Structure 1
């Protein structure tokens, strides 16, 4: 698949510069993207997903500019902004939607992650009835099970209990072992030990 390549990227909002002439590669394996609140972590994930275009520079993967990527390439990306509202669906319905969108979807992995995150008893409840942590767990379970060649995860530890954080670290490590060509980018506010990161990138911070 090759790396997603950012070259000379600049990005900012409302007079705040998040990135200025920033270049980075996101190769197969696990990447931890570290940055303070407001440093632009979510914006970088949106750039990688093609949901946001840079004000200067390029974001390319498999020969395509991500903001103009064809549908076939976008179908290889798993990304959901955690700030978006959830429709009135259950985790099971969410999983069924994802299974239809991602060719590499693994139903056994989905079921295993629901179990690992302690979501089995909540899988038939509408998302709006679940706690913030349970909704985050459903999103993480789907991300892990998607098999997407480019998987983007934003602040996964937010609202998670300690047991779920441990399970997530184990699941990420297993994913890196079993699917070595998969690009998994995890954005987090701090260093995260206990996960076999292929690389760790620190954002320069807002100006």
Structure 2
């Protein structure tokens, strides 16, 4: 209840503070990042031109997802993480340092967030406030796929990308609306997401 709400408010306040600090240090002008050497060309597939960097991201994303799935499902640490998400008190009573586990998961999530920002920077201009855009996109993906579902999130990301691409192609002025319309439809039919499970 109250403790989680305070944590959420504190985290959001910290995001706002760090965002303003970044503007002070690096300014408000948009910046661009060049693509890594070796990934600057393009490949022609089925009449379409696909940059090598996009293909690299297309291969790296599923590889990272598979790696983390293996960690969560096939390792002792992964079992602890899943157990802590369900019942941290019982896990702590078994002698597991839950606070250290949560800190490690937070550090890992921070690393993934930084990695995602670094990977996307050659694909779009870096501007203040783009973090908010990414958070909204991630929220939509998780809601569509299902909270707590690893593969649901992966499926939600694929659906998000396809719907947004078709929206930009056929009705660009309403492409964002199509995403939120899809999310609303999923919530109406399956409030827990496509691959999520209802709370009991």
Give TM-score, length-normalised by structure 2: 0.25
Relative contact order (C-alpha < 8 Å, sep 6+): which is higher?
1
Higher helix share: 2
Larger Rg: 2
